């Protein structure tokens, strides 16, 4: 008979990590990463890792997620069987509303334990591996565009061919100038996209969006605030360039409404929005049923959440436009994994080891921890 496991202890850390440069967005600037790392240990000595990486202007705060985890979510899992992942997720959803990032962290840690106990990677717990590598997209968001051009040159030399320009944090002319410079410099050797992070009002958006049609973009992401579904649907209807919903679609319910209203041609999947990998697969299933594409999005994350996202990417039946798990490799000054998160030649490689398939560097984790909350 298989060995039984029980969750014995939990630890929640708020971690702050320096980044290589400030990134600007339609919703504000980011100058460091504050994230929450969860560590669950079983009575059989297996440790599972998870990450809740919120963004205050998008999903929530690190402090709120750390409290949700340490006071409401993890205490209810102590003594539980980690294989009861769906039962424990439902329980977490009943115990505390919102905090999808905290629930993603719980699920990731449970899946990491399950995978390690069985000796299989997380994507095998989700139905298997449709792909073992995914094209990487890097986000250009430096207010100093000359630095971004130099960075694009460097990364293109590394094999990165997809760039997402963060737009809407300065004026329209600045966005057009940057796209023109990139097209002049690289022609069609780059796959270009833009992301407004909700940065325009509906009345100003349409004439500006029409100006972008000539740049042959793969998509325009979240031009207006998340609740303006009617404007999103209108842009999807009248523009040739595909529209992607990010902030407008967190979970299955929002995906269902978004599909009914046809608010986008593509949904950005993020485990931090959906509340975990299994919930993200549900969002992807709704998208697929509606003929809407999916893309691998992320928040400001370490290699732990990237690894969880990579297993999700592997398990998706369809994935259309790559993923953006570039933070650990190209944005953090140093990550907290023992081995670098696997990005090679412009592709994210899906880890194949048991569980997440990555190991945490405890000394580096400790060095960047600003608060520890122990749960017995
Ligand atoms: Mg986005």
- Give the CATH number, domain containing residue 185: 3.20.20.120
- Based on the fold, state whether residues 12 and 86 are members of the same structural domain: yes
Q: Contacts by 246-253 with C-beta closer than 8 Å and gap 24+?
A: 246/195, 246/197, 246/221, 246/222, 246/270, 246/297, 247/58, 247/197, 247/198, 247/222, 248/222, 249/273, 249/283, 250/59, 250/100, 250/274, 251/100, 251/275, 251/279, 251/283, 252/279, 252/282, 252/283, 252/286
If asked whether residues 316 and 183 sit together in one domain, one would say yes
Residue 164 shares a structural domain with residue 266:
yes
pLDDT at 117 over 60: yes
Per-residue pLDDT of 79-112, as tens digits, reads: 999 999 999 999 999 999 999 999 999 999 999 9
How much is the pLDDT for 230?
98
Domains contained in the chain, number: 2
Average pLDDT value for the chain: 96
pTM: 0.97
- Residue 208 alpha carbon to ligand 1 centre in Å: 18
Instruction: Give the domain extent around 236.
Output: 124-349
Beta bridge pairs of residue 267: 245, 294
Least confident of 182-186, 297-301, 347-351, 371-375: 371-375
Q: What angle do CA 152, 149, 58 make, to 5 degrees?
A: 75
- CA 246 to ligand 1 centroid distance, Å: 5
Q: Is 354 inside any structural domain?
A: no
**And the tokens for 205?**
């958006």
Residues 303-315, mean pLDDT to the nearest whole number:
98
Does 116 score more than 60 pLDDT?
A: yes
Q: Are residue 107 and residue 62 in the same domain, yes or no?
A: yes
Sign of CA dihedral 191, 265, 331, 308: negative
Q: What is the per-residue pLDDT across 191-239, written as a single tens digit (0 to 9) for each? A: 999 999 999 999 999 999 999 999 999 999 999 999 999 999 999 999 9
66: confidence class by pLDDT, cuts 50, 70, 90: very high
CA of 214 to the centre of ligand 1 (A): 22
Residues annotated as part of the active site:
23, 164, 166, 195, 221, 246, 270, 324
Q: Does the pLDDT of residue 63 top 80, yes or no?
A: yes
Cα 339 to averaged position of ligand 1 atoms, centre (Å): 28
Helix (H) or strand (E) holding 135: strand 133-135
pLDDT at residue number 23: 87
pLDDT for residue 376? 72
CATH number at residue 15: 3.30.390.10
Same domain, 167 and 186: yes
3-class DSSP state of 334: coil
**SS3 category, 367:** helix
Cα 201 → chain centroid: 25
Residues 67 and 136 in one domain: no
Indicate the burial class of 155 (C-beta count within 10 angstroms; 0-12, 13-18, 19 or more).
buried
User: How remote is the CA of residue 222 from the centroid of ligand 1, in Å?
Assistant: 7
State whether 85 and 182 are in the same domain: no
Share of the chain above pLDDT 90, in %: 93
- Return the residue matching tokens 């953006």: 324
């Amino acid at each position: 008979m298989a060995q039984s496991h029980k969750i014995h202890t939990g630890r929640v850390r708020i971690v702050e990590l320096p980044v290589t440069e400030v990134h600007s967005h339609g919703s504000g600037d980011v100058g460091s990463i504050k994230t929450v790392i969860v560590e669950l240990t079983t009575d059989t000595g297996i440790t599972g890792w998870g990450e809740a990486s919120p963004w205050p202007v998008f999903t929530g705060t690190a402090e709120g997620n750390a409290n949700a985890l340490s006071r409401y979510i993890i205490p209810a899992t102590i003594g539980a069987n980690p294989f009861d992942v769906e039962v424990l997720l439902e329980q977490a959803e009943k115990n505390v509303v919102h905090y999808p990032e905290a629930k993603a962290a719980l699920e990731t840690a449970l899946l990491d334990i399950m995978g390690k106990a069985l000796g299989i990677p997380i994507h095998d717990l989700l139905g298997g591996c449709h792909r073992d590598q995914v094209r990487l997209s890097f986000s250009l968001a430096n207010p100093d565009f000359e630095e971004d051009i130099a960075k694009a040159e460097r990364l293109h030399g590394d094999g990165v061919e997809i760039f997402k320009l963060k737009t809407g944090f300065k004026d329209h002319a600045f966005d057009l100038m940057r796209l023109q410079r990139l097209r002049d410099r690289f022609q069609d050797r780059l796959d270009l996209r833009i992301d407004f992070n909700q940065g325009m009002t509906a009345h100003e958006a349409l004439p500006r969006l029409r100006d972008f049609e000539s740049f042959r973009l793969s998509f325009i992401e979240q031009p207006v605030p998340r609740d303006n579904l009617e404007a999103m649907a209108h842009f999807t209807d009248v523009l040739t360039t595909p529209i992607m919903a990010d902030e407008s679609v967190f979970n299955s319910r929002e995906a269902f409404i978004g599909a009914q209203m046809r608010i986008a041609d593509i949904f950005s999947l993020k485990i931090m929005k959906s509340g975990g990998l299994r919930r993200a697969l549900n969002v992807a299933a709704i998208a697929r049923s509606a003929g809407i594409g999916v893309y691998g999005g992320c928040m400001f994350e370490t290699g732990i959440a990237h690894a969880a996202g990579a297993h999700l990417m592997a398990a998706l039946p369809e994935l259309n436009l790559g993923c953006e798990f570039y933070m650990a490799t190209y944005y953090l000054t140093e990550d907290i994994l023992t081995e670098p998160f696997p990005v090679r030649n412009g592709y994210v490689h899906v880890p194949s080891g048991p569980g997440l398939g990555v190991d945490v560097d405890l000394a580096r984790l400790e060095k960047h921890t600003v608060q520890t909350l122990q749960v017995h």
